[in-house]
């Protein structure tokens, strides 16, 4: 049997981890685990974990490392066997999460191939991308658009959602100043994470993603020596 592949995407918000994950999922049948989406799913279902996440967020706290790790472990136990390749998008986020996750993988599953891919992109590119990101205000839709010139994600009618005709708006954390603050915090976390992987002899693949999504996808396949159909 072919060894299972696990990809850990490391990169700042706005570096295109989610977009590349979607392409890999849609075109190659991979599965991507986004902790943000999993948070929302648990909250919606009001599961045991969901209630705790909901409480943390509503009290303005960060969701604890233990809680996130518990949620990811549950997911892996449920889905690992049936998935050919798994992308982790936004997890592990801290050294504590990385340590407990890798220990869990080794103990629980033994055989797998782990690839850590670090998305490299200039901060200014991220600021430009995110400050041009607009979301449908309809809570049941929340489609994502980009007002960047020539983007395939531009809305057909200015500031209106293609799917449900609701107005588009910008998230408050997508304001340029907020983005720069997020990036500063992110870089500190990333530095520690990369140091952790290095110390534990996990190779990190550097990937320059300061280019169009189509090119990012093609290069990613080459980088991973994949022949996607």
Residue numbers at the binding site for Zn ion (CB under 5 A): 136, 138, 141, 143, 161, 163-164, 166
| Nearer to Zn ion among residue 48 and residue 163 (C-beta) | 163
| Nearer to Zn ion among residue 72 and residue 161 (C-beta) | 161
| Nearer to Zn ion among residue 47 and residue 138 (C-beta) | 138
Question: Shortest approach of Zn ion to residue 142 CB, angstroms?
Answer: 7
From the CB of residue 192, how many other CB atoms can be counted at a distance below 10 Å? 13
* Long-range contacts, stretch 155-163, CB < 8 angstroms, 24+ apart: 159/134, 161/136, 163/136
How far is it, in rounded angstroms, from Cα 138 to Cα 169?
Answer: 10
Question: Shortest approach of Zn ion to residue 54 CB, angstroms?
Answer: 24
Contact between 170 and 135 under an 8 Å Cβ cutoff? The reply is: yes
Place of tokens 């604890």: 64
How far is it, in rounded angstroms, from Cα 155 to Cα 163?
Answer: 9
| Nearer to Zn ion among residue 5 and residue 166 (C-beta) | 166
Question: Shortest approach of Zn ion to residue 37 CB, angstroms?
Answer: 17
Question: Shortest approach of Zn ion to residue 213 CB, angstroms?
Answer: 21
| Nearer to Zn ion among residue 168 and residue 216 (C-beta) | 168
Question: Shortest approach of Zn ion to residue 27 CB, angstroms?
Answer: 25
Q: Is 74 exposed, middle or buried (0-12, 13-18, 19+ CB in 10 A)?
A: middle
**CB within 8 Å of 59: residues ≥ 6 apart:** none
């Amino acid at each position: 049997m072919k060894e299972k592949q696990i990809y850990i995407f490391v990169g700042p918000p706005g570096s295109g981890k989610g977009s590349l994950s979607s392409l890999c999922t849609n075109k190659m049948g991979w599965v991507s685990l986004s902790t943000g989406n999993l948070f929302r799913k648990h909250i919606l279902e009001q599961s045991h974990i969901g209630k705790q996440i909901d409480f943390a967020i509503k009290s303005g706290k960060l969701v604890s490392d233990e809680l996130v790790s518990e949620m990811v472990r549950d997911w892996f136990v449920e889905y690992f066997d049936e998935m050919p390749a798994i992308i982790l998008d936004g997890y592990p986020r801290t050294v504590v999460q990385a340590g407990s996750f890798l220990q869990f993988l080794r103990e629980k599953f033994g055989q797998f191939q782990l690839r850590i891919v670090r998305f490299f992109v200039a901060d200014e590119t991220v600021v430009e991308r995110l400050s041009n990101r607009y979301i449908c205000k309809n809570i049941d839709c929340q489609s994502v658009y980009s007002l960047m010139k020539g983007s395939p994600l531009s809305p057909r009618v200015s500031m209106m959602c293609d799917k449900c005709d609701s107005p588009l708006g910008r998230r408050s954390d997508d304001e340029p100043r907020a983005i720069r603050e997020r990036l500063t915090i992110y870089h500190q976390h990333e530095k520690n994470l990369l140091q952790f992987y290095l110390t534990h002899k996990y190779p990190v693949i550097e990937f320059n993603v300061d280019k169009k999504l189509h090119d990012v996808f093609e290069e990613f396949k080459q980088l991973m020596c994949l022949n996607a159909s």
